[in-house]
Structure 1
């Protein structure tokens, strides 16, 4: 039987965090967070360690249920969707991606197609091509037959990013995806995210990369949204000082005009060596 003809990629969904509140053991980790990620746009979450970024993302990929509020995909409550439908709609690259099973890189990437296959249905020509293309885009095609446990941290991170991409989600959620990556692969990954046309919600620690990659940025501190807007609107010296406790000079990038932050080691944050 011939493979089905290629299907168009699903339309990106509008993602909305609607009054999201998460409390665990009596401690509020996220407080009344309302933020929209526009369809087909890249939205970043930035903030100090412990500000609630990863907790908010866990609600989007259903690893955690909010105490109050909702995550909405095109105005549908994500928790009301069947698990299989939400697995097709949302793909995640998380910080907890360790695997003790020594699958090959090719097998790990192919797992991204699982929500779209039925039972023991074998991947067809389209699935194999999606995997090949994603691995080429993430520069891991040459690692296809390597066991994932033999890969470096950066190589494994790129394999897992390819797995998320082949899922063809309406929303792609990434928690610090540039971890372990050298600068070339950081730029390659973030550039790819901008070209996918998928709705992207991404946590980044590097504010300069966030400014270059994101259409909009939400800033969290102590579980609360303190600012949201374009990188130029949000990444001001005053906000960086108030939220991150460091002094920065903000200059426009000479090619793109994106704000770029300059720091000085001669003026470390107060109270630190």
Structure 2
């Protein structure tokens, strides 16, 4: 099931947070949104899991305009892991994971054998089976994050959206999570700050700055020294990973004192081959 953001704009209290964002996420693709803080990445995701309604434009799940679906149907189609995900109630891990089935149940209907197996498998995939009986408030931030990913998988969505899912995770669990997403068979839209992880895990990247899509394409097309300099305000050398060939960024510590990150100079962006209008039409 493909996902499409069609000229989505979000205006809140007179401020444009997202501006005419058009982006396609193909069936079973993993597409990453990257960009400086405040560039509109999380706001765009909120439109996909219906925490926000676009001021203009629309979000499509397959042939369905998301706003035309009931909340129940959209919850069955889209699962989300947000930065605000969590629980103030001390449910057990097993109970939290089982909440992923809520959009598919009616009233107090108990879980079926198949649904209990889904929960078991998700906990096994996320390496949290040993935590099943623990209260979620007892867990570390990384453990809670894995519990919430398991809950999203149990939901059996067609589209999975995740906002900085590697937060709090150690490097092993970051790699395991992103490998799981890549092999999940789901259509995935994910916000990531680590550009090296994004290059390794994503089929395509969309770069945002000031609420606008600067460029989209494959990681090698998008991650260039010029773009990193213009969008993020840092100097980087791009080298291929010795095993996978994925682009990897080596940063210098000294920032450019004359450049404000997130405000790419129009002349430098337009002169980049990977960000030309024709490239955006083909890859956005």
Work out whether the TM-score is over 0.5. Answer: yes
Deviations 1:149-195 (A, max 9, x none): 00000000000000001111000000000000000000000000011
Query: How far 1:50 moved relative to its partner?
Result: 0.1
Asked if 1:157 corresponds to 2:145, the answer is yes
Query: How far 1:75 moved relative to its partner?
Result: 2.6
Query: How far 1:268 moved relative to its partner?
Result: 3.5
Which secondary structure does the structure 2 equivalent of 1:260 belong to? strand
Runs of 4 or more, structure 1, over 6 Å off, are none
Number of corresponding residues: 259
Q: 1:208 aligns with which of 174, 178, 196?
A: 196
Which residue does the alignment assign to 2:170? 182
For residues 114 and 127 of structure 1, the distance between their equivalents in structure 2, rounded to whole angstroms, comes to 11
Which residue does the alignment assign to 1:6? none
Q: 1:47 aligns with which of 17, 22, 35?
A: 35
Which residue does the alignment assign to 2:94? 106
Q: 2:56 aligns with which of 54, 62, 68?
A: 68
User: Are the aligned partners of 2:40 and 2:210 in contact in 1 as well (CA < 8 Å)?
Assistant: yes
User: Are the aligned partners of 2:234 and 2:252 in contact in 1 as well (CA < 8 Å)?
Assistant: no
Which secondary structure does the structure 2 equivalent of 1:97 belong to? coil
For residues 75 and 165 of structure 2, the distance between their equivalents in structure 1, rounded to whole angstroms, comes to 19
Q: TM-score, normalised by structure 2?
A: 0.90
For residues 96 and 246 of structure 1, the distance between their equivalents in structure 2, rounded to whole angstroms, comes to 29
For residues 165 and 177 of structure 1, the distance between their equivalents in structure 2, rounded to whole angstroms, comes to 13
Cα RMSD for the two superposed structures: 1.0
User: Are the aligned partners of 2:233 and 2:255 in contact in 1 as well (CA < 8 Å)?
Assistant: no
Q: TM-score, normalised by structure 1?
A: 0.93
Query: How far 1:270 moved relative to its partner?
Result: 2.4
For residues 63 and 219 of structure 2, the distance between their equivalents in structure 1, rounded to whole angstroms, comes to 26
Change (3 A) 1:152 1:269: farther
For residues 228 and 58 of structure 1, the distance between their equivalents in structure 2, rounded to whole angstroms, comes to 20
Which residue does the alignment assign to 1:268? 255
Asked if 1:118 corresponds to 2:106, the answer is yes
For residues 68 and 264 of structure 1, the distance between their equivalents in structure 2, rounded to whole angstroms, comes to 40
Which secondary structure does the structure 1 equivalent of 2:50 belong to? coil
For residues 5 and 198 of structure 2, the distance between their equivalents in structure 1, rounded to whole angstroms, comes to 20
